[in-house]
Structure 1
Amino acid sequence: MGFYVLLLKEQEDDTAVIYHFGPDEDHLGALWLDKSSGAVKELKQPPVNNSEAFFMPAAVKVRQHWKAGMFPEKTCWAS
């Protein structure tokens, strides 16, 4: 069985970007990425069982986009 994390951009400015993340659009947490350093912080866990399993893949995905200099409106991580 695969694992899927949806990421939807909430807001972006010159210094940071905030994404909602979780298994689907009805169960989302939030994370913040610092554009200068690539540091990622969890702002809110998704309201699901095993919610901590969603942050690390979401953080990896937004850092991949940060390294490429892109911040898409919608993306995902899947295994």
Structure 2
Amino acid sequence: MAFYIEIEKSTENDVVATYRYWSVENDCGEFEINKQSGEVKLLIQANGDRQGHLFNRAALKVMRGWKQGKLPDKTVWAS
């Protein structure tokens, strides 16, 4: 199964950064990442993503940036 997920930072403060994520056939979902711990929390699940495939990939992509010390403003998951 192929995935193309767009991921965009929507807000950021000293504690968390909030991201929106979507694919062509789904509405937007939203999650946040704690900037200190790297903990990710799903805020809004994208329609059609009941199994969490989109969320898991979007969160992983952002966590990879966090581990390198940078949170991307915009990125994609393509596989």
TM-score (norm 2): 0.86
State percent identity of aligned pairs. 38
1:30-60 C-alpha deviation (Å, 9 max, x unpaired): 001001110001000112x234221110110
Whole-angstrom CA distance in 2 between matches of 1:71 and 1:41: 15
Whole-angstrom CA distance in 2 between matches of 1:50 and 1:69: 29
Which sections of structure 2, spanning at least 5 residues, go unmatched? none
Over the aligned positions, Cα root-mean-square deviation in angstroms equals 1.5
Aligned to 1:40: 40
Q: How many pairs were matched up?
A: 77
Aligned to 2:53: 53
1:1-79 aligned within 5 A? 2-24=2-24, 27-47=27-47, 49-51=48-50, 52-79=52-79
Secondary structure of the residue that 2:21 maps to in structure 1? strand
